[in-house]
Amino acid sequence: MKTKKKEKDIAYRLDTAFINREKELRFLRNFVDARPFEILFLHGPKSSGKTTLLYKFFAGIEKEQKIDVKFLNLREKLIGNYKDFIRIFFGSTPLQSKDDIKETREYGIFNFFKLSVEVLKGVENGQLDPFEMMKREFVKLTEKGIKPVLIIDELQAIEHIYINNGRQRQVIIELFNFFVAMTKESHLTHIIVASSDGYFLNTVYNDSRLKKTSKFYKVDYLGESDVREWLLNIEKYSKIKDYTLSEKDVEKIWDTVGGSMWEIQDILSDLFDDSIDRVLDLYKQKMRGIIAHYTGLNANKKKILKPFFRRHSLSLEDFASVEMDYEALEELLRDMVKNNILYFDPTGAVYYPQSSSTRWGIKLYFESLEEKKGDGGAAHPPS
């Protein structure tokens, strides 16, 4: 993973911030400094900073160690079939060689190693094993004293892909088999899989073979002390000179969005032109609208979300009192996770609203329903 070239000085009123994460950075260093023996699964709510954390860590460690980091973000890729999978993994941009007399164009897997067009075709039609060629390159790197690290972000994007050889083998299962072989068995490379899809990770977590060969590590939103440090020093961390925030302002932001860095950044950008009370009130109302739009006239969605009106988190057993067919319940919960209404933590088998702002949206939505029934009730902060 080559770091970006240093940008020329550009004046921004608001810059992105990276706050603390010392514990997470230490964990990643300990993981990389150990001989490979397990797959690392990084999980956490959407936009909790998993990808940013990985970039920050490896940008630093590449300066200290002989390490070759290859990062593939499947969130940015459209993969419809096995050929797409191969083209993305092995690249699709031809690199013409100077002495390319026979026009043997080459393709690189994450710029990791190169395949001739003939070999690439053999991989696509299933005649050649791409995993065997990947293994050879891992061996070459380790023989040179270089640590290979393979990172795949949002791996669940290829759950629907099958190898086109008539045997209907699921690509993701073949990948996991390969990952186990490269870590637990051969100790050749570090492999990190990052995902915000708790259901996907739950499948992995409950797979007996993968559970014994994997480590799960949660990257959560920032804690309150980190948010306070950031927002009371926004010129230092975000390059904001137009305004400052008071202790009370910080408390209001924390109450509304918690430690969600992306949402805090969004709010900071709005404070250039509006008061903090108005910005936060509009943000809460926007979240209420998101919940209202998602729920619509679906009574079952209301049944599932209503318990979060009063409670911070729920296990699957907590939904036992919900009058609904079990399969329908599971399907709707999965849909809520995929639509970032709820987050599912696979290690604890617990559901909770995707963020503090989502919790506000749920509370305001159900309070508005109660008001329509004549119960009234003013909005109050999430517990």
Token pair recorded at residue 327: 């399969």
- Which string of DSSP letters, residue by residue, matches 69-113? EEEEEGGG----SHHHHHHHHH----B--TT-TT---EEESTTSS
Write the pLDDT tens digit of every residue in 278-308: 999 999 999 999 999 999 999 999 999 999 9
Give the mean pLDDT of 193-200: 88
Write the pLDDT tens digit of every residue in 350-370: 999 999 999 999 999 999 998
Cβ proximity of 110 and 72 under 8 Å: yes
Question: Which residue do the tokens 């964990």 mark?
Answer: 27
Q: Which of 277, 262, 276 is nearest to 222 (CA)?
A: 262
| Dihedral in degrees, nearest 10, Cα atoms 22, 25, 26, 32 | -170
pLDDT reading at 10 higher than 80: no
pLDDT band per the 50, 70, 90 thresholds, residue 119: low
pLDDT reading at 275 higher than 50: yes
Write the pLDDT tens digit of every residue in 216-255: 999 999 999 999 999 999 999 999 999 999 999 999 999 9
